[in-house]
Amino acid sequence: MADTKLLTEIHGGVMTLSLNRPAKLNAIDNDLARELLAAIAAAEGREDVRVLLLRGEGRAFCAGRDITNAPTQEDLVLVQAVARSLVELPKPVVAAVHGWTVGAGLEWMLDADIVIAAQNTRFRLPEASLGVFVTGGLAATLQAHAGLGRAKALMLLGREFSAAQAQAWGLVWDVVPDDELPSASNRLCSQLASLQPEVAARFKRVLNELGLPQFDRAIELENEAQRALGRSANQGRAV
């Protein structure tokens, strides 16, 4: 459909999922999250899909959650469900990012197995300044990639950083010129698609079990923190 918020294409064993709200810099609303969740589930059941490629249409990968409306419990459930699905999918997930990669967009990026970024990518985690908590298992994934000290600084300070910094800190596997991102990400996905599915699945499962042992706990704690901050905000408005 022309108004779909997620574009899906399958070619050469790769399912490409393109966030398709370019006028909103692919900000996440519930419809987009639901479509993405359904597409990931479909990918798991298809033998002709060996790799998932997540990307964004227009000038950005994803500018985070759409803050047009106040966050709801359903928002939290859907965002966390997508994160779990990306991590638990028994197939490699590649995120190809460019432009603004912010908040929940950055969080979903780190739920991928391999990240490739255009040189123009700009990252930021603004949640603390907005009075909300992070999602997507970021409390576990960011530490796993960047270490505890840098994770604290990136979350609490919310400063913008570049693709080169993201690569130096272990958040990104490769950085390429902006116009080479499509071809570079396609080559990477083709290499992954050439692996035996069971081999790729076992590598992902074992590495995640050892490298992200607290992912499920991170999701639980993020949910608790998000609800607690929401109650505090409501009480403050009532005073």
Length of the chain: 239
Residue ranges per structural domain of the chain: 6-179+196-238
Give the gyration radius of the chain's Cα atoms: 17
Confidence at residue 72, expressed as pLDDT on a 0 to 100 scale: 83
* Residue 237 pLDDT exceeds 70: no
* Residue 7 pLDDT exceeds 50: yes
Note if 127 is an active site residue. yes
Question: What is the percent of the chain where pLDDT is above 90?
Answer: 91
Separation between Cα atoms, residue 108 and residue 88, nearest integer Å: 13
Mean pLDDT of 194-204: 98
Q: Where are the beta strands (DSSP E) in the chain?
A: 6-11, 14-19, 51-56, 93-97, 100-102, 114-118, 122-124, 161-162, 174-176
CATH annotation of 6-179+196-238: 3.90.226.10
Condensed to tens digits (0 to 9), the pLDDT of residues 83-104 reads 999 999 999 999 999 999 999 9
Q: How confident is the model at residue 232 (pLDDT cuts 50, 70, 90)?
A: low
Condensed to tens digits (0 to 9), the pLDDT of residues 162-175 reads 999 999 999 999 99
Condensed to tens digits (0 to 9), the pLDDT of residues 99-141 reads 999 999 999 999 999 999 999 999 999 999 999 999 999 999 9
From the candidates 74, 107, 160, 180, which is the catalytic residue? 107
Q: How confident is the model at residue 233 (pLDDT cuts 50, 70, 90)?
A: low
Confidence at residue 68, expressed as pLDDT on a 0 to 100 scale: 85
From the candidates 127, 160, 220, 222, which is the catalytic residue? 127
Confidence at residue 3, expressed as pLDDT on a 0 to 100 scale: 73
- Residue that has been written with the tokens 């609303």 in this structure: 29
Q: Are strands 161-162 and 122-124 parallel, antiparallel or unpaired?
A: antiparallel
CA distances from 70 to 132, 154, 230 (A): 11, 24, 10
Cα angle 9, 111, 148 (rounded to 5 degrees) comes to 160
Comparing 19-28, 58-67, 214-223, 228-237, the range with the smallest average pLDDT is 228-237
Confidence at residue 236, expressed as pLDDT on a 0 to 100 scale: 45
